[in-house]
Structure 1
Amino acid sequence: MPIVRSPQNPIITPQDVNASKAGWEVIGVFNAGVAQHRDEVILLLRVAERPINDNPDVYYTPVYDAQTNRLGVRTIERGPNVDFSDVRVIRTPDKNYLTSISHFRVARSRDGILFEIDDKPAVLPSSVYESYGIEDPRITLIEGTFYITYSAISEYGICTALLSTKDFVSFRREGNVFHPDNKDVVIFPRRIGGKYYALHRPSCSHYGKPEMWIAESDDLRLWGNHRHLIGVREGEWDGGRIGAGAVPFEIEEGWLEIYHGADADNRYCLGALLLDKDEPWKVVARSALPFMEPEEAFEVEGFFGNVIFPCGVLVENRVVKMYYGASDTSVGYAEIPLDDLVAHLVRGSAEPSPTA
């Protein structure tokens, strides 16, 4: 499939963004929500930062304190009882922590490639459910309002929360809309049969696996009628976990969803789903193989390598314009012909679902 990556990739890197406070450093700018607002392309960037640390004997982990409304630093001594095997997480005998904390920053562009990035955060952690940060925004435009789903991380788990805005200047918090642990929530851009729909990814239990579900709502805040959509395929490129990537967009054949899949080695690639236009809980077609894999150096190497992860696309003149996180470090851009992406799908490739 012809995929055209921007020759200017990565189009945004940590060096392009200043830290939110003195003594901190930005280690990642990635997984951006995408929107078209007036004559600009808007990226709502996930900015990951941490305190600068010159002491090899300890680790400084950032934590938001809702009581004081301040970012604080917890000192963790390195030792045999502390697990640093995952660069994203610190596992102690008492609790797990993240090695960085994320907020959202607005970037604006006239051409979709060269972005001006705001000096200050647009949205910071602000509640006990966000003490470890806010992550991976997805933006859906519905009747003039942009609704933003995102992961709210804390010691209580991973909730999905909702923001709304009309201008990307002021934001209204709508609260937690999916309880822990749940993430990768994307909302369809219009009602279908009188209902709003969203894809989501509950965490695995003793029995289940990290797979994609669909839910419905009357008001975008209370969600129910949860149904399993598609599962992982063991031994395949999406055999470890799957989840929604970009917000679904409507084409003649139905709803097209670009999703991420990871294998047993945490290598993240991209596939697509075609969902029925009137009954989106029905899968019409699915990628048998990934249409895009981490190949470029900035996609393979980084803070957490071998990852490409889109949170948004724009579709213009039958071209899918995709902004994606690369290696949990930077933002890449690629264009894919819509007709080729549809032709890549295999009808009947999804396993039978309990909703079928």
Structure 2
Amino acid sequence: MRSYQLQRLVDQPILQTSDVKPTIAGFDVLGAFNPAACLFNNEVLILLRVAEAPKAEKGYIVIPLIEEQDGVPTLIIKRFPEPSEPYDPRVITIQGKVYLTSLSHLRLARSTDGIHFTIDEKPFLFPARMDESYGIEDARITFMEGKYWITYTAVSEHGPGVGLAVTTDFITVDRVGMILPPPNKDVALFPQKINGKYMLLHRPMVSEIGKPSVWLAESADGIHWGNHRFVFGGRGRPHQGPAGQERINNQFAWEGGKIGAGPEPMLTDDGWLVCYHGADETHAYSLALALLDRDDPSRIIGRSDTPLLRPELSWERDGFFPNVVFSNGWIQWPDNSNKAGKIWVYYGAADSGVGLAELIAE
């Protein structure tokens, strides 16, 4: 596996939460981050995850979600008395039921230079089904067979699953539906068939047994998936620390807590290049690379031993969810551009903005 560097192109976010207008009157935008990315009609398009919530009300927890009313999924707002004890501002359990305190959707933004973006004022995809009742998050875009395939995390009270939508023009969208049920997320669809099959990477979520890991699945039609196979997981190993506490303390601690695939795999002369994220036991997220065999992507050729990008700048360390760099969007500039062949990586920073880096092969 050749050596790579991930170098920030700018030392400030190219998009911030304050750049995005709320969709709904009386709501605030809490975060704009984790964009999918692609090239379309000589522009860079990104699909931002935009998290919104009703304006705060003193003494109350105010929760937006989708509920069925007369058989129609409808946006509603629930209000509960604010707990007296400390609570997570993002996820809260009330009367035995877990809620998210914001509702995410996907917002389209476009740019001719890949740095300065114009953001649509209305959602591109807004939660519209009961399996999206808690929001739509963290999309990936894969161009294949003349269409743009958009996978995203669809969240409901039953957990996060994987939704699929398809478009040819980023105006009309065919919402295919949920292709992997909860609990699952981080789906990256390969941009071409391999051995006659559609393929994707995904991350089943584990509980008592196992650790988060990246799996491979295949399909004859791009909708129904099977032949699921483990590909790789976090290499961080827990060991018994002081006072009987389990701690992760080795060279791979940075991916010992969580792991998941990022943007769509990119085909290189060496094989399929996969950008992935790893998180440590403190929930700090970093970015790294894996290389998979061209004809058998269940076979690993190489992986990063250390992260290519860590949360180091103030706006990567401080935000709605601190200490995060998380990528689910990259582009390779075409040969007819003045950036021919360059790979630009768009990443969410602290759930509060978007950074930009270039992937450089050495």
When the two structures are superposed, what TM-score results if normalisation uses the length of structure 1? 0.91
> Residues 57-116 of structure 1, C-alpha deviation per residue, up to 9 Å, x if partnerless?
111011112434432111122225x762x3321123411111211011110110000111
Please say if residues 83 and 90 of structure 1, whose CA atoms lie closer than 8 Å, have aligned partners that are also in contact. no
Out of 66-75 and 111-120, give the one that drifted further: 66-75
Q: 1:321 aligns with which of 344, 356, 359?
A: 344
Matched residues in 2 for 1:218 and 1:149: separation?
A: 17
Structure 1 residue identity aligned to 2:295: D
1:44 matched residue in structure 2: 47
* Cα pair distance change 1:83/1:181, threshold 3 Å: farther
Cα shift at 1:117: 0.8
1:9 matched residue in structure 2: 12
1:229 matched residue in structure 2: 231
1:9-158 alignment, distance < 5 Å:
9-55=12-58, 57-67=59-69, 68-79=72-83, 84=87, 86-158=88-160
1:233-312 alignment, distance < 5 Å:
233=235, 234=237, 235=248, 236-312=253-329
Classify the secondary structure of the residue corresponding to 2:13.
coil
Classify the secondary structure of the residue corresponding to 2:51.
strand
Q: 2:203 aligns with which of 201, 204, 217?
A: 201
> Residues 153-179 of structure 1, C-alpha deviation per residue, up to 9 Å, x if partnerless?
011111101000001111111111001
1:182-193 alignment, distance < 5 Å:
182-193=184-195
Matched residues in 2 for 1:161 and 1:136: separation?
A: 11
Matched residues in 1 for 2:108 and 2:67: separation?
A: 24
Provide structure 1 residue ranges, at least 5 long, that are not aligned to the other structure.
Answer: 341-356
Cα shift at 1:245: 0.9
**Alignment RMSD:** 1.4
Provide structure 2 residue ranges, at least 5 long, that are not aligned to the other structure.
Answer: 238-247, 334-339
Matched residues in 1 for 2:233 and 2:6: separation?
A: 26
Please say if residues 33 and 312 of structure 1, whose CA atoms lie closer than 8 Å, have aligned partners that are also in contact. yes
Matched residues in 1 for 2:86 and 2:193: separation?
A: 45
Structure 1 residue identity aligned to 2:20: V
Cα shift at 1:2: 5.0
Classify the secondary structure of the residue corresponding to 1:194.
coil
Matched residues in 1 for 2:29 and 2:351: separation?
A: 12
Classify the secondary structure of the residue corresponding to 1:59.
strand
Matched residues in 2 for 1:254 and 1:3: separation?
A: 19
Structure 1 residue identity aligned to 2:36: G
Matched residues in 2 for 1:112 and 1:26: separation?
A: 23
User: Percent identity at matched positions?
Assistant: 44
Please say if residues 83 and 92 of structure 1, whose CA atoms lie closer than 8 Å, have aligned partners that are also in contact. no
Cα shift at 1:205: 3.0
Cα shift at 1:276: 0.2
Please say if residues 10 and 355 of structure 2, whose CA atoms lie closer than 8 Å, have aligned partners that are also in contact. no
Cα shift at 1:29: 0.6
Structure 2 residue identity aligned to 1:42: L
Cα shift at 1:255: 0.1
Cα shift at 1:144: 0.8
Please say if residues 229 and 283 of structure 1, whose CA atoms lie closer than 8 Å, have aligned partners that are also in contact. yes
Please say if residues 32 and 312 of structure 1, whose CA atoms lie closer than 8 Å, have aligned partners that are also in contact. yes
> Residues 116-151 of structure 1, C-alpha deviation per residue, up to 9 Å, x if partnerless?
111111111001101100000000000110000001
Structure 1 residue identity aligned to 2:265: P
Classify the secondary structure of the residue corresponding to 2:108.
strand
Cα shift at 1:318: 4.2
Structure 2 residue identity aligned to 1:211: S
Cα shift at 1:3: 3.8
Structure 2 residue identity aligned to 1:45: L
* Cα pair distance change 1:305/1:166, threshold 3 Å: same
Please say if residues 36 and 140 of structure 2, whose CA atoms lie closer than 8 Å, have aligned partners that are also in contact. yes
Please say if residues 10 and 356 of structure 2, whose CA atoms lie closer than 8 Å, have aligned partners that are also in contact. no
Cα shift at 1:286: 0.5
Matched residues in 2 for 1:192 and 1:3: separation?
A: 28
Please say if residues 63 and 79 of structure 2, whose CA atoms lie closer than 8 Å, have aligned partners that are also in contact. yes
Matched residues in 2 for 1:162 and 1:301: separation?
A: 32
Structure 2 residue identity aligned to 1:232: G
Classify the secondary structure of the residue corresponding to 2:345.
strand
Q: 2:359 aligns with which of 325, 336, 345?
A: 336
Please say if residues 31 and 50 of structure 2, whose CA atoms lie closer than 8 Å, have aligned partners that are also in contact. yes
